Structure 1
């Protein structure tokens, strides 16, 4: 589904992958209310369409995002905070109690500030161009990270490395992002999208229900602890074993053919 040029977000389908692009390059993809709302709708499309199995988020232009467009966003912060989700949308940062059931791959390049890092932290796999420069700079603007960095950054990088960057507002490069675990792969500039799409497509080839079950169990362990995740393992296995995809997977194994999963 391609959207008009006036949109801040563009989407298209590559097989079972929903490709979601930040499309405000003239502003270094700074996020205003329109972009945030449209991004929430794109995430809802990914979640709600059974034909879609994986999301790939990228950015048009030289930069992933310069962060929030504060001139547009700051006046919108009310007594209850900031509402960034359009009606029917899903919070891409997933800090409101709702969780996406499908995996998301992120491909970044150039400047990637604040909510860009938080979008990475809320996703599952990140590919970064060597050109990437990251900054969790909210404290330099008199606010705190409110898209999940205070929760997920220490978990991903360890307490000291997370605080090193959150509390100083300093910027860091792709090599450091890779070292501390924010990024899974670093590639030459210009290759991040194709590598991200390759990873997303590889995930989309797997049994969708199994991918979602594995993702859900890992998230349960993070949010609720090992015991809660352990209690779900056998019931999840029983449900998957009864699926048509399980039969397809077993037949593919026995016949040495590539499985073509149906998602049921």
Structure 2
């Protein structure tokens, strides 16, 4: 497994856990972290034994946004990280899920600060768990900046426009309960238990047919901006082939035999 000094990668069964690991800076994004994230997403996609991904942060924070000094390369160890960014100028956007969507479900486990670039990256995840004291927000306008990580496009598509505009235009912090009320996160749990809840959700996903899970996720996103009639047609294109798989037959057989299914991605 990969990883860097600011991004750890570990396996929990069929789940790949990516942990932002720069707690002294509230997990502010750095080049080592971005490179680790980029490679982690690709690792999860390439490994068929991985059925879900959990993204979390170390030390009681999720991510406090971009570390501009680190991105510029000041005081950062490892020339190879700058070389990676030069080789792929889009790497940081892929890492932050702006220009890449993993085919496996991504579950965010948020403790503490999830602001600025943290809230932007959150919008690229599929299922979101927040600890009670987590804080969200897009602070860019307060600093005279623009939330260029995708929020002016994605946020109004994920939560009601009035809430999206308030978050974007005021730059104020949001509590976990507020974030849940407007639909930005799906679960609020006691502090210190976000990762446990995320892994619980991941395990439920892992018990399902992986080909079916990936097809369902793909269909949801690719039909999001289609008309209903076009979306329904596209859904059939994604959905019907799943019924012809050995996994679909195994699911039905296991149900009839009252046993857990054994899926083989076939």
Normalised by the size of structure 2, how large is the TM-score? 0.89
1:205 and 2:207 matched: yes
SS in 1 for 2:223: helix
1:16 to 14, 19, 34: 14
1:59 matches 2:20: no
| 1:100-119 alignment runs, 5 A limit | 100-119=102-121
Deviation (angstroms), 1:242: 1.3
* Correspondence list, 1:1-264, <5 A: 1=1, 3=3, 7-73=5-71, 83=89, 85=91, 91-96=94-99, 98-264=100-266
Q: 1:74 Cα deviation (Å)?
A: 5.8
What are the ranges of 5 or more consecutive residues in structure 2 without an aligned counterpart?
A: 75-87
For the structure 1 residues 35 and 26, does the alpha-carbon distance in structure 2 shift closer, same or farther, using more than 3 Å as the test?
same
What residue in structure 1 maps to residue 81 of structure 2? none
**Stretches of structure 1 lacking an aligned partner (at least 5 in a row):** 77-81
- Cα distance in 2 for partners of 1:16, 1:165 equals 35
Shift of 1:121: 1.2
Q: Give the deviation of 1:75 after TM superposition.
A: 7.9
**Does the C-alpha gap of structure 1 residues 227 and 92 become closer, same or farther in structure 2, counting only changes over 3 Å?**
farther
State the Cα distance separating 1:125 from its structure 2 match.
Answer: 0.5
Q: Secondary structure of 2:192's partner? A: coil
Greater mean alpha carbon deviation, residues 223-232 or residues 116-125: 223-232
Distance in 2, matches of 1:237 and 1:27, equals 44
**Distance change in 2, residues 1:215/1:140 (3 Å):** same
Residues 218, 229 of structure 1: 8 Å contact kept: no
Give the match for residue 79 of structure 1. none
Return the offset for 1:244: 1.1
Alignment root-mean-square deviation, CA: 2.1
Tell me the distance in 1 between the aligned counterparts of 2:188 and 2:224: 26
How far apart are the structure 2 equivalents of 1:72 and 1:16? 33
Displacement of 1:185 in angstroms is 0.3
Distance 1:54 1:44 in 2: 13
SS of the residue corresponding to residue 222 of structure 1 reads coil
CA distance in 2, matches of 1:146, 1:224: 24
- Asked if 2 retains the 8 angstrom alpha-carbon contact of 1:33 and 1:73, the reply is yes
Does the C-alpha gap of structure 1 residues 63 and 244 become closer, same or farther in structure 2, counting only changes over 3 Å?
same
Per-residue deviation, residues 162-190 of structure 1 (Å, max 9, x unmatched): 11111111101000000000110000000
Q: Is the 8 A contact 2:97 2:121 kept in 1?
A: no
Cα distance 1:125–1:132, how it changes in 2: closer, same or farther (>3 A)? same
Structure-2 change in CA distance of 1:167 and 1:64 (3 Å)? same
Contact 1:221 1:227 in 2 (8 A): no
Report if aligned partners of 1:63, 1:109 keep a CA contact under 8 Å in 2: yes
Please say if residues 156 and 180 of structure 1, whose CA atoms lie closer than 8 Å, have aligned partners that are also in contact. Answer: no
Q: Is the 1:33–1:84 Cα contact (8 Å) retained in structure 2?
A: no
